[in-house]
């Protein structure tokens, strides 16, 4: 009985090819098929029959004009889109056009315009446009860094008033990761830097009989410039990138929001311990780099310049002043603060999942390296002006 009723309903719907105009109406006008009224699901069979009838002999291009359609159900629109695809298979280009705002939403939902819109050829961006876009991006990035620095200062005042708000237990593990674990690479790189500097200058020093002055060259250049800078670059590549990736992952996984929900400040919990760890370990690594770099020059002095270890060490102590070592340590402290701030800021700015974290990690290394060179140049000028 139920099957018989269903069959009768389908047959009744199929027979409604001439329905009242106030329900729906389909009229063929040249290459346009004008549809009017309401396209409801209970009329779907009749609408499909009438549309097939009007398009059986269609050729060329036709347009389904929906300007007079007041409303449409998704099922009817799916049939209309399917008919458009069927016509396309026969070589007839059909377009759905002139729908009102409500109906257009249904058309877009069922991809009624797919394959209809003309592809626009993307014009290559000009050099001036690229420079302008890059300038705006740098401006926005600088604004974000300054905003982050301001928030960091406010968080610092809060920690001074409420020291227990900081995650101080994390400082020691961070010092081990950023300091002790970095010793092998710091030792190797700075030894090679001192060795190469001495070896490159050995030939010229021999020409003038000034072999002993290799100690002056290596000692002063390492303590004032190269040891702090090379150590900071190593820390930037190891710890800075790691900080950005860690905080970035926490940001995209909403762990930072969870900290705020628990009443913990992300700056005091994540940023301050990392700054403290780097400020404490980078100067120590710099002192180690000074000693190892000078040792690299000593190897060249003994093997290639016929110097004695005693003579090399005495000349180094005579040429390298305490102020030379002190200026290198001052640079290393500022370098460490810059690396930690940039890494944490980039981590907090990460969005969009793993890809966003990767981009921010790369940006951390690039921005930190640029900042290190810029800060080093500023310190060099300042020390030169004040004759330090």
Question: Which residue range is the domain that position 37 belongs to?
Answer: 13-109
The pLDDT, as a whole number, for residue 111 is: 64
Confirm whether 120 is domain-assigned. no
Query: What's the sign of the alpha-carbon dihedral 369, 375, 379, 382?
Result: positive
The pLDDT confidence band at residue 176, using thresholds 50, 70 and 90, is: very high
Asked if 144 and 242 sit in the same domain, the reply is: yes
Confirm whether 1 is domain-assigned. no
Residue 265 has pLDDT above 90, yes or no: no
Structural tokens at position 260: 């705020």
The pLDDT, as a whole number, for residue 121 is: 61
Asked if 235 and 352 sit in the same domain, the reply is: yes
Asked if 222 and 154 sit in the same domain, the reply is: yes
Asked if 65 and 166 sit in the same domain, the reply is: no
Q: What would the mean pLDDT of 17-36 be, rounded to a whole number?
A: 67
Asked if 220 and 360 sit in the same domain, the reply is: yes
Q: Which of these, 21, 16, 64, 22, lies nearest to 42 by C-alpha position?
A: 16
Question: Residues of 324-355 as b/e, b for ≥16 C-beta within 10 angstroms?
Answer: bbebbbebbbbbbbbbbbbbbbbbbbbeeeee
Asked if 99 and 147 sit in the same domain, the reply is: no
Residue 1 has pLDDT above 60, yes or no: no
What's phi and psi for 221, nearest 5 deg?
Answer: -65, -35
Asked if 276 and 334 sit in the same domain, the reply is: yes
Helices (H) and strands (E) in the chain, counts: 16, 4
The pLDDT confidence band at residue 124, using thresholds 50, 70 and 90, is: confident
Query: Which three-class secondary structure state does DSSP give residue 334?
Result: helix
The pLDDT, as a whole number, for residue 155 is: 79
Ranked by mean pLDDT, which of 109-113, 120-124, 196-200, 252-256 comes out on top?
196-200
The pLDDT, as a whole number, for residue 365 is: 93
Asked if 71 and 194 sit in the same domain, the reply is: no
CB-hemisphere CA count at 13 Å for 177? 16
Residue 173 has pLDDT above 80, yes or no: yes
Number of domains forming the structure of the chain: 2
Q: Kindly state the helix (H) or strand (E) to which residue 255 belongs, with its residue range.
A: helix 255-261
Rg (the chain; Cα; Å): 37
The pLDDT, as a whole number, for residue 114 is: 59
Distance CA 207, CA 360 (A): 50
Query: Which three-class secondary structure state does DSSP give residue 187?
Result: helix
Residue 285 has pLDDT above 90, yes or no: yes
Query: What's the sign of the alpha-carbon dihedral 135, 234, 252, 151?
Result: negative
């Amino acid at each position: 009985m139920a099957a018989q009723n269903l069959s009768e309903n389908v047959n009744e719907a199929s027979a409604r090819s001439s329905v009242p105009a106030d329900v729906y109406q389909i009229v063929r006008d040249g290459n346009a098929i004008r549809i009017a009224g309401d396209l409801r699901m209970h009329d779907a069979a009749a609408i499909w029959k009438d549309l097939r009838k009007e398009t059986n002999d269609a050729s060329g291009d036709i347009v389904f004009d929906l300007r007079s359609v007041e409303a449409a159900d998704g099922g009817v629109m799916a049939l209309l889109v399917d008919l458009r695809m069927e016509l396309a298979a026969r070589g007839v280009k059909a377009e759905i056009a002139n729908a009102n705002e409500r109906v257009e939403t249904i058309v877009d939902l069922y991809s009624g315009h797919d394959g209809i819109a003309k592809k626009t050829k993307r014009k290559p961006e000009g050099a001036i446009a690229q420079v302008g876009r890059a300038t705006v991006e740098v401006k926005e990035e600088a604004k974000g860094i300054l905003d982050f620095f301001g928030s960091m200062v406010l968080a610092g005042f809060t920690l001074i008033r409420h020291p227990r708000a900081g995650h101080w237990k994390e400082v020691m593990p961070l010092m081990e990761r950023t300091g002790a674990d970095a010793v092998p690479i710091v030792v190797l790189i700075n030894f090679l830097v001192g060795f190469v500097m001495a070896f490159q200058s050995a030939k010229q020093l021999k020409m003038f009989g000034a072999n002993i002055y290799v100690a002056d060259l290596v000692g002063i250049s390492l303590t004032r410039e190269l040891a702090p800078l090379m150590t900071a670059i190593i820390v930037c590549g190891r710890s800075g990138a790691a900080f950005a990736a860690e905080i970035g992952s926490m940001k995209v996984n909403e762990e930072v929001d969870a900290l705020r929900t628990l009443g913990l400040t992300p700056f005091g919990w994540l940023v301050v311990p990392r700054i403290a760890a780097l400020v404490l370990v980078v100067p120590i690594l710099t002192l180690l780099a000074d000693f190892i770099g000078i040792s690299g020059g000593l190897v060249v002095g003994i093997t290639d310049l016929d110097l004695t270890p005693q003579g090399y060490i005495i000349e180094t102590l005579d040429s390298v002043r305490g102020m030379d070592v002190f200026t290198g340590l001052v640079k290393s402290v500022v370098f460490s603060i810059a690396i930690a701030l940039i890494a944490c800021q980039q981590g907090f700015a990460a969005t969009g999942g793993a890809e966003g974290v990767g981009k921010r990690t790369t940006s951390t290394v690039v921005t930190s390296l640029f900042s290190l060179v810029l800060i080093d140049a500023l310190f060099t000028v300042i020390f030169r002006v004040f004759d330090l």
